Structure 1
Amino acid sequence: MNPAQLNRLLRKIHLYVSVFFAPLLLFYGLTGAIQVLHLHEARGGTYTPPAVVEKLAQVHIHQRYAEKPKRPAPAASAQKAPEKPKAAEPERKEPPAMGVLKAILFLSGLGLAGSSIAGVWISLLIPRGRKLALGLLAAGSVLPVLLVVLVS
């Protein structure tokens, strides 16, 4: 096989593998961006995430479509020990670089999602192999959803 044929073959393989995995890349890019901002967690009683966001985060983290399990309440003992006064907890400050890191991670999630969409768009512009690309895109969209439903 000459280098030109090998190059064409590798590009074709790359195209079809990419189209198959694009829906998962889109999913992980968007849910990862949501998690960087902690939009999947309740915080201090002031914010409650929508149930679908919590469930999608569970797919991202634990591969199951379910709400985050609630921690059981501490067991009330018959005799309570006298509570010690708690010292005021010092305010935890994030290092200055943390904001920059979060911004980069958030943007990388959005970039991964956008790149996946652009790649699918470009692949569907190629007339030769469009039906196979559409089939792989459909399979890459449906198969993970079916598997998550089966294991949840």
Structure 2
Amino acid sequence: MKKLLRRLHLYLGVFFAPLLLLFVITGWWQTVTINRNKGLGFGQTVIEKLSTVHIDQYYPVTGTKKYRTDAFKILTIALCIGLILAIVLGIWMGFQTPGHRLGSLIALLLGIAVPVVILALAPHRGPPSPAPAAVSASP
């Protein structure tokens, strides 16, 4: 049973590694990128507030408040570097496992190919609708 679980862990890890790298690297990019547009009323639901932590490095609270985000930004960058290193080391370790090199290679190639194929086959609907512009209350 342990052998099966180790093998399952190995193949799942190698399979999802490319997608994890994609999300870690793009998350890093979102953290350090300044230009992000949000629609009017963004940040009302819990998921939007958690997205704000991911994108802007603070948890929004009601009322006006100035947020300091540098420390969390540094922590997020350190997290991204650590995850990238852990994922790359995990892939390397997967290829070092005797008797599982071919399986690791197949899992890695599938981990790259499956998301590419899914994205290629997804119907193109164009960019999302822009957020409604703020309405000014001028007389």
Q: Map 1:37-116 onto structure 2 (within 5 A).
A: 37-38=32-33, 41=35, 94-96=66-68, 98-116=69-87
Matched positions, count: 98
Map Cα deviations across residues 1-45 of structure 1 (whole Å, 9 max, x no partner): xxxxx3222111100110100000111111110110116x379xx
Q: Give the one of 11, 16, 26 matched to 1:16.
A: 11
**Taking structure 1 as reference, are residues 108 and 9 closer, same or farther at Cα in structure 2, changes over 3 Å only?**
same
What displacement does 1:130 show? 0.9
Task: Report if aligned partners of 1:29, 1:113 keep a CA contact under 8 Å in 2.
Answer: yes
Letter in 2 for 1:25: L
Task: Report if aligned partners of 1:28, 1:109 keep a CA contact under 8 Å in 2.
Answer: no
Whole-Å Cα distance in 1 between the matches of residues 77 and 23 of structure 2? 12
Ranges in structure 2 where 5+ consecutive residues have no aligned partner: 38-50, 52-63, 125-139
Percent sequence identity over matched residues?
32
Which residue of structure 1 aligns with residue 120 of structure 2? 149
Map Cα deviations across residues 86-127 of structure 1 (whole Å, 9 max, x no partner): xxxxxx98433x211111122212222221111000110112
Whole-Å Cα distance in 2 between the matches of residues 120 and 143 of structure 1? 17
Task: Report if aligned partners of 1:32, 1:106 keep a CA contact under 8 Å in 2.
Answer: no
**Which 4+ stretches in 1 moved above 6 angstroms?**
none
- In the superposition, the TM-score normalised over structure 1's length comes to 0.57
Secondary structure at 2:33 match in 1: coil
Ranges in structure 1 where 5+ consecutive residues have no aligned partner: 1-5, 44-60, 62-91
Larger radius of gyration: 1
Q: CA RMSD in A?
A: 2.3
Whole-Å Cα distance in 2 between the matches of residues 34 and 130 of structure 1? 32
Q: Give the one of 21, 29, 34 matched to 2:24.
A: 29
What displacement does 1:128 show? 0.6
- In the superposition, the TM-score normalised over structure 2's length comes to 0.62
